[in-house]
Protein backbone atom coordinates (compact mmCIF):
# COMPACT_ATOMS: atom_id res chain seq x y z
CA UNK A 1 0.00 0.00 0.00
CA UNK A 2 1.56 3.29 -1.08
CA UNK A 3 1.64 6.31 1.19
CA UNK A 4 0.13 9.42 -0.33
CA UNK A 5 -0.18 12.93 1.07
CA UNK A 6 -2.39 15.78 -0.10
CA UNK A 7 -1.06 19.23 0.73
CA UNK A 8 -2.49 22.74 0.41
CA UNK A 9 -1.23 26.32 0.28
CA UNK A 10 -3.52 29.20 1.26
CA UNK A 11 -3.25 32.66 -0.28
CA UNK A 12 -5.16 35.62 1.13
CA UNK A 13 -4.94 39.26 2.08
CA UNK A 14 -5.08 40.23 5.76
CA UNK A 15 -6.02 43.29 7.78
CA UNK A 16 -5.69 44.70 11.29
CA UNK A 17 -8.46 42.61 12.92
CA UNK A 18 -6.96 39.36 14.22
CA UNK A 19 -10.36 37.73 14.71
CA UNK A 20 -11.30 38.52 11.11
CA UNK A 21 -7.97 37.14 9.91
CA UNK A 22 -8.54 33.94 11.86
CA UNK A 23 -12.03 33.58 10.40
CA UNK A 24 -10.70 34.14 6.88
CA UNK A 25 -7.95 31.56 7.39
CA UNK A 26 -10.46 29.10 8.85
CA UNK A 27 -12.66 29.51 5.76
CA UNK A 28 -9.73 28.63 3.52
CA UNK A 29 -8.67 25.70 5.73
CA UNK A 30 -12.20 24.32 5.44
CA UNK A 31 -12.12 24.78 1.67
CA UNK A 32 -8.78 22.99 1.46
CA UNK A 33 -9.98 20.14 3.67
CA UNK A 34 -13.05 19.85 1.47
CA UNK A 35 -10.69 19.26 -1.46
CA UNK A 36 -8.99 16.45 0.42
CA UNK A 37 -6.01 18.36 1.79
CA UNK A 38 -4.35 16.79 4.83
CA UNK A 39 -1.54 19.26 5.62
CA UNK A 40 -2.68 22.85 5.07
CA UNK A 41 -0.29 25.82 5.05
CA UNK A 42 -1.43 29.39 5.82
CA UNK A 43 1.00 32.25 5.12
CA UNK A 44 3.42 33.85 7.57
CA UNK A 45 2.05 35.90 10.49
CA UNK A 46 -1.55 35.77 9.25
CA UNK A 47 -2.60 37.15 12.65
CA UNK A 48 -2.44 40.67 11.21
CA UNK A 49 -0.70 42.97 8.77
CA UNK A 50 3.01 42.38 8.16
CA UNK A 51 4.20 44.96 10.69
CA UNK A 52 7.95 44.62 10.14
CA UNK A 53 7.92 47.28 7.43
CA UNK A 54 8.83 49.75 10.19
CA UNK A 55 10.03 49.84 13.80
CA UNK A 56 7.14 50.61 16.15
CA UNK A 57 7.07 49.32 19.71
CA UNK A 58 3.28 48.99 19.75
CA UNK A 59 3.52 45.77 17.76
CA UNK A 60 5.19 43.97 20.67
CA UNK A 61 1.74 44.01 22.26
CA UNK A 62 0.49 41.60 19.60
CA UNK A 63 2.78 38.72 20.67
CA UNK A 64 1.61 35.82 22.84
CA UNK A 65 3.12 32.72 24.44
CA UNK A 66 2.77 30.08 21.75
CA UNK A 67 0.38 27.83 23.67
CA UNK A 68 -1.91 30.81 24.35
CA UNK A 69 -1.84 32.47 20.95
CA UNK A 70 -5.39 33.03 19.58
CA UNK A 71 -4.33 31.73 16.17
CA UNK A 72 -2.99 28.52 17.68
CA UNK A 73 -6.08 27.97 19.83
CA UNK A 74 -8.47 28.56 16.91
CA UNK A 75 -6.51 26.47 14.42
CA UNK A 76 -6.10 23.63 16.94
CA UNK A 77 -9.87 23.35 17.30
CA UNK A 78 -10.22 23.42 13.52
CA UNK A 79 -7.47 20.84 12.96
CA UNK A 80 -9.21 18.47 15.38
CA UNK A 81 -12.62 19.04 13.82
CA UNK A 82 -11.41 18.48 10.26
CA UNK A 83 -8.70 15.93 10.97
CA UNK A 84 -5.96 17.97 9.26
CA UNK A 85 -2.46 19.14 10.19
CA UNK A 86 -1.74 22.89 10.14
CA UNK A 87 1.59 24.73 10.52
CA UNK A 88 0.56 27.96 12.30
CA UNK A 89 2.85 30.98 11.96
CA UNK A 90 2.71 33.39 14.92
CA UNK A 91 4.40 36.29 16.70
CA UNK A 92 5.58 34.55 19.88
CA UNK A 93 6.52 35.96 23.26
CA UNK A 94 8.52 33.88 25.72
CA UNK A 95 9.13 35.97 28.84
CA UNK A 96 11.15 39.00 27.65
CA UNK A 97 12.02 37.30 24.35
CA UNK A 98 10.16 37.60 21.04
CA UNK A 99 10.28 35.21 18.10
CA UNK A 100 8.80 34.68 14.65
CA UNK A 101 7.54 31.16 15.26
CA UNK A 102 5.55 28.26 13.86
CA UNK A 103 3.45 25.87 15.94
CA UNK A 104 2.85 22.49 14.28
CA UNK A 105 -0.65 21.17 14.87
CA UNK A 106 -1.40 17.52 14.12
CA UNK A 107 -4.67 16.08 12.88
CA UNK A 108 -6.03 15.59 16.41
CA UNK A 109 -5.49 19.28 17.19
CA UNK A 110 -2.50 18.60 19.43
CA UNK A 111 0.45 20.98 19.35
CA UNK A 112 3.54 19.00 18.39
CA UNK A 113 5.88 21.84 19.37
CA UNK A 114 7.30 25.12 18.16
CA UNK A 115 9.89 26.10 15.56
CA UNK A 116 11.46 29.55 15.76
CA UNK A 117 12.60 31.22 12.57
CA UNK A 118 16.36 30.78 12.24
CA UNK A 119 17.28 33.46 9.71
CA UNK A 120 16.05 36.96 10.58
CA UNK A 121 16.22 39.58 7.81
CA UNK A 122 16.97 43.25 8.33
CA UNK A 123 16.47 45.61 5.42
CA UNK A 124 14.09 48.21 4.02
CA UNK A 125 10.54 46.95 4.43
CA UNK A 126 11.66 43.81 6.30
CA UNK A 127 13.03 45.11 9.61
CA UNK A 128 12.56 41.88 11.52
CA UNK A 129 15.65 42.12 13.72
CA UNK A 130 13.94 44.92 15.66
CA UNK A 131 11.18 42.49 16.67
CA UNK A 132 12.54 38.95 16.62
CA UNK A 133 15.45 37.11 18.18
CA UNK A 134 17.15 34.49 15.99
CA UNK A 135 15.44 31.17 16.56
CA UNK A 136 16.92 28.86 19.21
CA UNK A 137 15.12 25.63 18.32
CA UNK A 138 17.27 24.50 15.42
CA UNK A 139 15.64 23.19 12.26
CA UNK A 140 12.87 20.71 12.98
CA UNK A 141 10.70 18.15 11.23
CA UNK A 142 7.37 16.81 12.37
CA UNK A 143 5.90 13.31 12.25
CA UNK A 144 2.33 14.26 11.46
CA UNK A 145 -0.42 11.72 10.91
CA UNK A 146 0.09 12.07 7.16
CA UNK A 147 3.87 12.16 6.79
CA UNK A 148 7.10 13.71 8.02
CA UNK A 149 7.13 17.40 7.15
CA UNK A 150 9.71 20.16 7.47
CA UNK A 151 8.70 23.80 7.91
CA UNK A 152 10.91 26.86 7.45
CA UNK A 153 9.67 30.45 7.72
CA UNK A 154 10.06 33.03 4.94
CA UNK A 155 13.72 34.19 4.97
CA UNK A 156 14.68 30.61 5.86
CA UNK A 157 13.48 29.61 2.40
CA UNK A 158 16.37 31.38 0.65
CA UNK A 159 18.96 29.21 2.39
CA UNK A 160 19.76 25.79 0.90
CA UNK A 161 21.11 24.81 4.32
CA UNK A 162 17.59 25.04 5.79
CA UNK A 163 16.14 22.64 3.25
CA UNK A 164 19.07 20.23 3.46
CA UNK A 165 19.02 20.19 7.29
CA UNK A 166 15.34 19.27 7.28
CA UNK A 167 15.91 16.63 4.61
CA UNK A 168 18.72 15.06 6.66
CA UNK A 169 16.16 14.69 9.46
CA UNK A 170 13.89 12.77 7.11
CA UNK A 171 11.47 15.41 5.83
CA UNK A 172 9.17 14.16 3.06
CA UNK A 173 7.61 17.52 2.11
CA UNK A 174 8.95 21.04 2.77
CA UNK A 175 6.63 23.91 3.68
CA UNK A 176 7.44 27.63 3.75
CA UNK A 177 4.92 30.19 5.10
CA UNK A 178 5.88 33.60 3.71
CA UNK A 179 5.18 37.35 3.74
CA UNK A 180 7.05 39.02 0.90
CA UNK A 181 6.29 41.67 -1.66
CA UNK A 182 7.43 45.07 -2.84
CA UNK A 183 10.81 46.56 -1.92
CA UNK A 184 10.18 50.09 -0.63
CA UNK A 185 13.76 51.24 -1.33
CA UNK A 186 13.62 50.23 -5.00
CA UNK A 187 10.35 50.26 -6.94
CA UNK A 188 12.06 48.54 -9.88
CA UNK A 189 13.09 45.52 -7.80
CA UNK A 190 10.72 42.56 -8.13
CA UNK A 191 11.72 39.39 -6.30
CA UNK A 192 8.67 37.25 -7.10
CA UNK A 193 10.38 34.98 -9.62
CA UNK A 194 13.66 34.59 -7.70
CA UNK A 195 11.60 33.85 -4.58
CA UNK A 196 9.86 30.98 -6.32
CA UNK A 197 13.00 29.75 -8.10
CA UNK A 198 14.95 29.54 -4.83
CA UNK A 199 12.46 27.08 -3.39
CA UNK A 200 12.08 25.16 -6.63
CA UNK A 201 15.84 24.67 -6.42
CA UNK A 202 15.38 23.03 -3.02
CA UNK A 203 12.85 20.68 -4.58
CA UNK A 204 15.28 19.66 -7.32
CA UNK A 205 18.42 19.23 -5.22
CA UNK A 206 16.62 17.33 -2.46
CA UNK A 207 14.07 15.48 -4.64
CA UNK A 208 11.20 16.66 -2.47
CA UNK A 209 7.87 18.43 -2.98
CA UNK A 210 7.84 22.06 -1.80
CA UNK A 211 4.87 24.19 -0.73
CA UNK A 212 5.13 27.99 -0.51
CA UNK A 213 2.26 30.13 0.84
CA UNK A 214 2.49 33.93 0.55
CA UNK A 215 0.01 36.68 1.36
CA UNK A 216 -1.34 39.09 -1.23
CA UNK A 217 -2.79 42.60 -1.30
CA UNK A 218 -1.71 46.12 -0.29
CA UNK A 219 -1.16 46.98 3.38
CA UNK A 220 -0.89 50.44 4.89
CA UNK A 221 1.20 49.89 8.01
CA UNK A 222 3.29 52.83 6.78
CA UNK A 223 2.27 55.81 4.68
CA UNK A 224 3.94 54.33 1.61
CA UNK A 225 2.45 50.93 2.25
CA UNK A 226 3.58 47.59 0.91
CA UNK A 227 2.12 45.31 -1.75
CA UNK A 228 2.53 41.56 -1.37
CA UNK A 229 2.90 39.57 -4.56
CA UNK A 230 1.20 36.30 -3.76
CA UNK A 231 2.51 33.75 -6.30
CA UNK A 232 2.01 30.87 -3.85
CA UNK A 233 2.79 27.51 -5.38
CA UNK A 234 3.30 23.78 -5.00
CA UNK A 235 6.23 22.11 -6.77
CA UNK A 236 6.86 18.41 -7.12
CA UNK A 237 10.08 16.48 -6.46
CA UNK A 238 11.41 17.47 -9.90
CA UNK A 239 10.80 21.16 -9.29
CA UNK A 240 7.90 21.17 -11.75
CA UNK A 241 5.09 23.53 -10.79
CA UNK A 242 1.96 21.47 -10.17
CA UNK A 243 -0.19 24.32 -8.76
CA UNK A 244 0.31 28.06 -8.60
CA UNK A 245 -1.44 31.37 -7.99
CA UNK A 246 -0.86 34.76 -9.56
CA UNK A 247 -0.14 37.91 -7.64
CA UNK A 248 -3.72 38.87 -6.76
CA UNK A 249 -5.47 35.50 -6.47
CA UNK A 250 -7.00 34.39 -3.21
CA UNK A 251 -7.92 30.84 -2.36
CA UNK A 252 -6.53 27.33 -2.05
CA UNK A 253 -3.97 25.28 -3.97
CA UNK A 254 -3.80 21.50 -3.52
CA UNK A 255 -1.67 18.64 -4.81
CA UNK A 256 -1.21 14.96 -3.97
CA UNK A 257 2.14 13.16 -3.83
CA UNK A 258 3.09 9.51 -3.56
CA UNK A 259 5.64 9.57 -0.74
CA UNK A 260 6.94 6.07 -1.39
CA UNK A 261 7.58 6.83 -5.05
CA UNK A 262 9.35 10.10 -4.21
CA UNK A 263 11.47 8.29 -1.61
CA UNK A 264 12.62 5.72 -4.17
CA UNK A 265 13.26 8.42 -6.75
CA UNK A 266 15.36 10.37 -4.23
CA UNK A 267 17.49 7.31 -3.58
CA UNK A 268 17.95 6.73 -7.31
CA UNK A 269 19.31 10.25 -7.84
CA UNK A 270 22.06 9.63 -5.28
CA UNK A 271 22.24 13.17 -3.95
CA UNK A 272 22.44 11.91 -0.38
CA UNK A 273 24.60 8.90 -1.22
CA UNK A 274 27.25 11.11 -2.87
CA UNK A 275 27.50 13.83 -0.23
CA UNK A 276 31.10 14.61 0.78
CA UNK A 277 30.84 15.80 4.35
CA UNK A 278 34.62 15.56 4.67
CA UNK A 279 34.87 18.52 2.26
CA UNK A 280 32.20 20.73 3.79
CA UNK A 281 34.09 22.25 6.71
CA UNK A 282 33.85 25.76 5.24
CA UNK A 283 30.05 25.54 5.37
CA UNK A 284 30.12 25.74 9.17
CA UNK A 285 32.96 28.25 9.48
CA UNK A 286 31.47 31.74 9.88
CA UNK A 287 34.49 33.30 8.11
CA UNK A 288 36.10 30.70 5.85
CA UNK A 289 39.48 31.57 4.35
Could you list the active site residues? Answer: 44, 117, 154
Three-class SS state of 271:
coil
Q: Are 231 and 244 in contact (CB under 8 A)?
A: yes
Instruction: Find, among 132, 130, 182, the residue nearest to 153 by Cα.
Output: 132
157 DSSP 8-state letter: G
d(CA 289, CA 282): 8
Residue 5, C-beta contacts closer than 8 angstroms, at least 6 positions apart: 38, 39, 146, 147, 172, 173, 256, 257, 259
Beta bridge partners of 92: 64, 99
Closest to 85 measured CA to CA, from 155, 141, 130, 139: 141
Question: How long is the chain?
Answer: 289
Q: Return the closest-CA partner of residue 189 out of 198, 177, 181, 197.
A: 181
Distance CA(139)–CA(84), nearest Å, equals 22
Q: Whole-angstrom Cα distance, residue 115 to residue 151? A: 8
Amino acid sequence: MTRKITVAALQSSYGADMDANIRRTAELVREAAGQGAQVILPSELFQGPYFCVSQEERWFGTAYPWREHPCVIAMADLAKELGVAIPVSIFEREGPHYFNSMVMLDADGSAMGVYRKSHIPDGPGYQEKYYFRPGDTGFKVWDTKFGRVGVGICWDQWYPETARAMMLQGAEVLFYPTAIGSEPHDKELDTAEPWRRAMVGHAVSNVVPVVGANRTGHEDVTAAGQTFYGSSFIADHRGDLVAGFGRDDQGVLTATFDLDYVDRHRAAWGFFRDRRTDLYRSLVDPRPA
